[in-house]
Structure 1
Amino acid sequence: MRGEVLHYDQEQGFGFITGADGKRYSFAREDLRREMALARGAEVEFQPNGDRASNIFSVRARMTGPAESTTPGAATPPLPASAPPSPAHFGRSAETGTAESTGLWSYFQRGLTTNYVNFSGRARRKEFWGFCLFWTIGLVVIIGVGLSVDLSRGDVEGGGDVPIVMLGLIGLFFLLTFLPWVALIVRRLHDLGLTGWLAILCFLPYVGGLATLVFALIPSQFGENKWGPVPAGVRL
């Protein structure tokens, strides 16, 4: 598979590659086919193995020029200046060639699609609060729709019956958004340079809400860490 180097620390001997499939792969010095210096943005070929890249080697573009004249004594025309190669795009932005949006709605949309069960990488504070905002709006809409249906069916008139439609929709909403929430918290912890296993604290009684709030307010860790580069849009 072809990919692009996101980061490679020559001294520490580890780095990250974005594959053409949109996934991020980690690698170490021993995964290189031979010892070489890899700069950010370099094109490589590698063998994916889960979240790990192995058998990595650099891809070098071959420059070709016009054929030489075969006429005896004819002067060889000078080679025209080659145009600079257009940058290659990999990952989720490969189709459009543009960077992913950092808007609140875009973060929420990706949280329910491409990042639904994405437990790798990093998530900035804006991504967390954007998902939280639209998740809350969605919950309010679900409650309103469910309650309206129950009232129209007479399920809650007189206070004797249970609003079964509203409770069912709320339960379904929580079930469908549980994994995205866990994945988002794990990526937020990665952005702070912490292990994702600390997400367990966010689901404990009494302290879960406070732990989630603290993790959501801490700024992104300066520079790249072992979970990836600084998220787009973060000002350091």
Structure 2
Amino acid sequence: MRGEILHYDEDQGFGFLTGADGNRYSFAREDMRRETSLARGAAVEFQPDRGQARNVYSVRLQASASPGATAPAAAPPQQAALRPAAAQHFGRAADAGPAQSTGLWDYFWRAVTRNYFNFADRARRKEFWAFCLFWTISVIAVVAIGLAADAAVGDLEPGQEMPAMTVGLCGLFILASIPPWIGLIVRRLHDIGLTGWLAILCFIPTIGGLATLVFALIPTQTRENQWGPVPQGVRI
């Protein structure tokens, strides 16, 4: 089958590609017919085997090494015929975009912006704990702002009712952070190879906190699964 390289790490000897059937396949160094450098976007041929690509080899390398051309004049048409295949993108190749930052703040910022309603991909442990860290800092900041506002209007005086600004701001912040929290837990479950529906356990009284902690501590699956490739920054 014809395919296209999405990623290949020469140091780890692991990569994944997308085939003409629109599916992703992972492969290792031992699955390559010959040791060669495979850049992203390179056209290859391979044999699909239950999500694994076998006998992977570069189409261009194979074509240049093949003795099929008997005359030098025949080489340019063959190379021209290969160019469209090398430039063609199959399936979900567009998902392999530019590398994203793996800093703690970057993970949190993406969670509250781009991934606000993302319930489909994977989230490594660092991404989960980065969100926990900055979410906690944000709660403290919101409480501080609310208390300062209540103090300015005299709601913190003895005998006064509950601090309305503090309660209101905290309530709004928590409600606004529910979608990214659920999405993060679902993506964390996907990252360890479990269905996202198990996120329901995290909202059950008594066991919810323990379930969330267990899901957050399990290491990433160091292979592509049905929810996507291994997250960036994870050592395979």
Please say whether Structure 1 and Structure 2 have the same fold, judged by a TM-score greater than 0.5.
Answer: yes
Q: In the alignment, is residue 204 of structure 1 matched against residue 204 of structure 2?
A: yes
User: Which residue number in structure 2 is paired with residue 164 of structure 1?
Assistant: 164
TM-score in terms of structure 1 length: 0.63
Whose helix fraction is larger, Structure 1's or Structure 2's? 2
TM-score in terms of structure 2 length: 0.63
Q: Which runs of 5+ in 1 are unaligned?
A: 18-38, 44-75
Contact 2:5 2:18 in 1 (8 A): no
Contact 2:124 2:220 in 1 (8 A): yes
User: Judging changes above 3 Å, is the alpha-carbon distance between structure 1 residues 91 and 223 closer, same or farther for their aligned structure 2 residues?
Assistant: closer
User: Which residue number in structure 1 is paired with residue 50 of structure 2?
Assistant: none
User: Which residue number in structure 2 is paired with residue 123 of structure 1?
Assistant: 123
- Of 23, 28, 53, which residue of structure 2 is paired with 1:15? 23
Count of residue pairs the alignment pairs up: 171
Contact 1:107 1:127 in 2 (8 A): yes
Q: CA deviation at 1:165?
A: 0.3
Opposite residue 123 of structure 1, the aligned amino acid is: A
Contact 1:125 1:217 in 2 (8 A): yes
User: Which residue number in structure 2 is paired with residue 222 of structure 1?
Assistant: 222
Q: Give runs of aligned pairs for residues 31-180 of structure 1, distance below 5 A.
A: 41=41, 90-91=94-95, 93=97, 98-180=98-180
CA distance in 1, matches of 2:169, 2:187: 28
Contact 1:119 1:187 in 2 (8 A): yes
Contact 2:116 2:183 in 1 (8 A): yes
Q: Which runs of 4+ in 1 moved over 6 A?
A: none
Contact 1:125 1:216 in 2 (8 A): yes
Q: Which runs of 5+ in 2 are unaligned?
A: 7-15, 26-38, 44-72
User: Judging changes above 3 Å, is the alpha-carbon distance between structure 1 residues 91 and 8 closer, same or farther for their aligned structure 2 residues?
Assistant: closer
Opposite residue 110 of structure 1, the aligned amino acid is: R
Contact 1:5 1:16 in 2 (8 A): no
User: Which residue number in structure 1 is paired with residue 12 of structure 2?
Assistant: none
User: Which residue number in structure 1 is paired with residue 10 of structure 2?
Assistant: none
